Amino acid sequence: MITPFDYIEHKRACKQKKLERSTRIANLPPVYHDPLSSYDRELLKTPIERLVQDVHKGIVKPIDILRSYGKVAIKAHAKTNCLTEVMISPAAESWIEHVNLKAPLAGIPVSLKDSITVRGFDVSVGYSRNTGKPSAEDGAIVKILKDAGAVPYVKTNLPISLLSFESANDVWGRSTNPHNDKYSPGGSTGGESALLAYGGGRIGIGSDVAGSVRVPAHFAGIYSLRCSTGRWPKMGTKTSMPGQEGIPSVFSPMARTLPDLVYFTRSMIGMKPWEYDHSVHPLSWQSDVYDQTKDQKTLRIGVMRSDGKSQFPLYPLSLLF
């Protein structure tokens, strides 16, 4: 396309996606716009392991969990502009009808970084050229979540290029910190940290090359774990740097509380993700290692100063050691 027509098309695509998002929110069933009930508040403060147990026993219905978190997610977005694709209705409400009620994440809503592929929705990654191209099938992460009984319900904002400690792009706009709108929620998984910190979800999934789940967790006051390379699936996702494997991006969990982070990680590993994605190492959850270390008061940190050819780390990080 020839300038200035490519710029005009860019602006049109950005306007269209924002309109699509606001229309989906406005057209949600009325229950999502209602005030929080006492039952909603009870569900929102319950750890996910307990929620799953209650779903297994038939005490709690998955649709009630989705609607409780859906209400808060909409409020979180109004305050922080954290959401991109709103999948709550009719998509998530239809998926929930087929949830495996005995699975390890039965009925639990899970938010996703925008770069994760969900069938029927764009994976724009903040680029206008990627809009209007809904995915034909779910990526490996979403397949695992659905088989585990979880319910993907929203996708969250990120920076264009995915290489920034803030989360802003022309397609979706700028996300802000729920604690102070003059500050960033971090990046590149900043929409996710804003949503979780506000209370619009308990668990979500981001990706990390050089701090993209760790920095947002720090900025917003939540928990995250940058998994080792090959621990979580990455097939069926989109990046701004296809083929960059020097420092591989790792999809990783984020959560409002440490117990939720542990339970979520253990549940995902328990689903044998290597059966969904060949790049995942066939390594089960190591309960013995976890039990040995969870009560330790101090941690031992290893630092590789040299590989025999080069000195690490580079200045100024070297001043810390």
Higher-confidence residue: 306 or 54? 54
- Average pLDDT in the 145-155 region? 98
Q: What angle do CA 149, 251, 46 make, to 5 degrees?
A: 45
Q: Is the pLDDT of residue 1 over 80?
A: no
Q: Are 228 and 247 in contact (CB under 8 A)?
A: no
Higher-confidence residue: 174 or 302? 174
Query: Coil, strand, or helix at residue 207?
Result: strand
**Nearest partner of 267 among 56, 105, 144, 107, judged by Cα:** 105
Q: Is the pLDDT of residue 210 over 80?
A: yes
Q: Which two three-digit tokens encode residue 111? A: 């938010």
What share of the chain in percent tops pLDDT 70? Answer: 95
- Average pLDDT in the 149-156 region? 98
Predicted local distance difference test score (pLDDT) of residue 299? 81
Q: Is 321 exposed, middle or buried, given 0-12, 13-18 or 19+ CB atoms closer than 10 A?
A: exposed
Catalytic residues, by residue number, are 113, 188, 212
Name the band, by pLDDT with cuts 50, 70 and 90, for residue 2.
Answer: low
Express each pLDDT in 266-278 by its tens digit.
999 999 999 999 9
User: How many CA atoms lie within 13 Å of 174's alpha carbon, on the beta-carbon side?
Assistant: 9
Residue that has been written with the tokens 């792009």 in this structure: 169
Measured CA to CA in angstroms, residue 38 lies from 42, 44, 45, 121, 306 at distances of 6, 10, 11, 33, 57
Q: Is the pLDDT of residue 320 over 70?
A: no
Phi, then psi, of 202 in degrees rounded to 5: -110, -30
Q: Which two three-digit tokens encode residue 59? A: 């005490």
- The rounded distance, in Å, linking the Cα atoms of 171 and 18 is 7
- The rounded distance, in Å, linking the Cα atoms of 213 and 224 is 6
Q: What is the DSSP letter of 219?
A: H
Q: Are 60 and 66 in contact (CB under 8 A)?
A: no
Asked whether the bond before 233 is cis by omega within 30 degrees of 0, the reply is no
Q: Which two three-digit tokens encode residue 37? A: 């009930």
Predicted local distance difference test score (pLDDT) of residue 104? 98
Predicted local distance difference test score (pLDDT) of residue 313? 56
Express each pLDDT in 97-141 by its tens digit.
999 999 999 999 999 999 999 999 999 999 999 999 999 999 999
**Nearest partner of 82 among 192, 239, 170, 180, judged by Cα:** 192
Strands (E), 42-135: 83-86, 109-113
Q: Which two three-digit tokens encode residue 18? A: 């924002």
Q: Is the pLDDT of residue 315 over 80?
A: no
- The rounded distance, in Å, linking the Cα atoms of 96 and 93 is 5
Question: How many CB atoms sit inside 10 A of residue 304's CB?
Answer: 7
Higher-confidence residue: 217 or 238? 217
User: pTM of the prediction?
Assistant: 0.93
Query: Coil, strand, or helix at residue 168?
Result: strand
- The rounded distance, in Å, linking the Cα atoms of 321 and 318 is 6
- Average pLDDT in the 8-16 region? 97
Predicted local distance difference test score (pLDDT) of residue 304? 73
Name the band, by pLDDT with cuts 50, 70 and 90, for residue 301.
Answer: confident
Q: Is the pLDDT of residue 246 over 90?
A: no
Higher-confidence residue: 304 or 181? 181
Q: Are 216 and 233 in contact (CB under 8 A)?
A: no
Predicted local distance difference test score (pLDDT) of residue 314? 53
